[in-house]
């Protein structure tokens, strides 16, 4: 019976869960490549897509966010904020044809990206210290 508990990013974990998480963290360079390359490349691939991959990626990214390197979070935050700015501008423009491109995809895709934005912004609209 495991009686040891640890606090990890505000969550209480059993000793077993802690060891399992530690193994995952130790192997992230192997799984995600050096400098979280796979995380960043898949983010760039999914950004602007209008398919199921956006919600799948956002769900996965949110689950691994605490384990990402700070530099990876800053890359994603910077590129996502730039996409939000471009998307805001594109949505202000009246469309003259049916084929309109929005940098964050359709509105339901944008709503998914808002979930990632919430991971790095605080309630006052500023950035959390990652």
Domain that holds residue 114: 34-130
* Same structural domain, 27 and 73: no
Query: How many other C-beta atoms lie within 10 A of the C-beta of residue 34?
Result: 8
Alpha-helical segments (H) within the chain? 15-26, 28-32, 37-46, 52-64, 70-92, 107-120
Residues whose CB is less than 8 angstroms from the CB of residue 56 and which lie 6 or more positions away in sequence, other chains included: none
- pLDDT of residue 20 exceeding 70: no
Average pLDDT, the chain: 80
User: How many domains does the chain divide into?
Assistant: 2
* Higher pLDDT, residue 63 or 30: 63
53-112 pLDDT tens trace: 999 999 999 999 998 999 999 999 999 999 999 999 988 886 666 667 899 999 999 999
Instruction: Grade residue 15 by pLDDT with cuts at 50, 70 and 90.
Output: low
Ramachandran class of 114: left when φ > 0, alpha when ψ lies in -120 to 50, beta otherwise:
alpha
∠ at Cα 60 (3, 103), nearest 5°? 155
The pLDDT value recorded for residue 35 is 76
* Same structural domain, 15 and 78: no
Token couple for 94: 């009246």
* Same structural domain, 40 and 10: no
102-to-21, 67, 70, 107 alpha-carbon distances in Å: 37, 30, 28, 9
The pLDDT value recorded for residue 122 is 74
Q: What pTM did the predictor assign?
A: 0.71
């Amino acid at each position: 019976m495991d009686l040891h508990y640890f606090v990890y990013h505000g969550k209480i974990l059993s000793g077993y869960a802690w060891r399992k998480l530690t193994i995952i963290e130790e192997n992230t360079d192997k799984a995600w490549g050096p400098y979280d390359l796979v995380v960043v490349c898949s983010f760039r691939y999914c950004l602007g897509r209008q398919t199921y991959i956006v919600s799948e990626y956002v769900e996965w990214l949110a689950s691994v966010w605490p384990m990402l390197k700070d530099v990876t979070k800053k890359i994603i935050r910077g590129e996502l904020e730039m996409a939000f700015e471009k998307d805001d501008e594109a949505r202000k423009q009246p469309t003259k044809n049916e084929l309109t491109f929005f940098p964050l995809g359709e509105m339901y895709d944008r709503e998914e990206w808002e979930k990632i934005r919430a991971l790095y912004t605080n309630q006052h609209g500023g950035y959390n210290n990652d």
